[in-house]
Structure 1
Amino acid sequence: MKLKYFEDTDTLYIEFRSDDIAESRDLDENTVIDLDAQGNVCAITFEHASKRTDVHHLTLEGIAA
């Protein structure tokens, strides 16, 4: 899993899996979800992230070894 924040565009990208993306769906005008061929969620993108999320505060819990 990867989290990337692009300050220049205020975009937060969360990648859950690195599989090939077969489809991207707009959840709303500022949120896109990426799916693989089986319909599994691969990633989600948040535009205007600093206004819509707490992007500057990250807490990790339950990290797998």
Structure 2
Amino acid sequence: MKVSYFEDTDTLYIEFRKTDIAESRDLDENTILGVDKNGNVCAITFEHASQHTDVRHLIVEGIAA
């Protein structure tokens, strides 16, 4: 998984798996899902991210399988 924040566009991008995105689906006016050819969500984009969360602080928690 990869998390990227683009300050110039205030966009937060979370990539769950590295694969080709076949379709983008608007979840709401600020949230876009990237899905593969099988309909699996592989990425999510949050526009105007700083208005909805504190993008300056990122906490990553992992759970061992």
Q: Same fold (TM over 0.5)?
A: yes
1:16 correspondence with 2:16 = yes
In structure 2, how many angstroms separate the alpha carbons of the residues matched to 1:53 and 1:44?
15
> How much does 1:54 deviate?
2.4
In structure 1, how many angstroms separate the alpha carbons of the residues matched to 2:56 and 2:48?
13
- Structure 2 spans left out of the alignment, 5+ residues: none
> How much does 1:62 deviate?
1.4
In structure 1, how many angstroms separate the alpha carbons of the residues matched to 2:33 and 2:26?
6
Q: Identity of counterpart residues, as a percentage?
A: 77
Q: Which runs of 4+ in 1 moved over 2 A?
A: none
- Structure 1 spans left out of the alignment, 5+ residues: none
| Matched residue, 2:30 | 30
Superposed CA RMSD in Å reads 1.2
In structure 1, how many angstroms separate the alpha carbons of the residues matched to 2:53 and 2:38?
28
Aligned residues: 64
3-state SS of the aligned residue for 2:25? strand
| Matched residue, 2:62 | 62
In structure 2, how many angstroms separate the alpha carbons of the residues matched to 1:43 and 1:22?
11
Q: Which letter maps to 1:40?
A: N
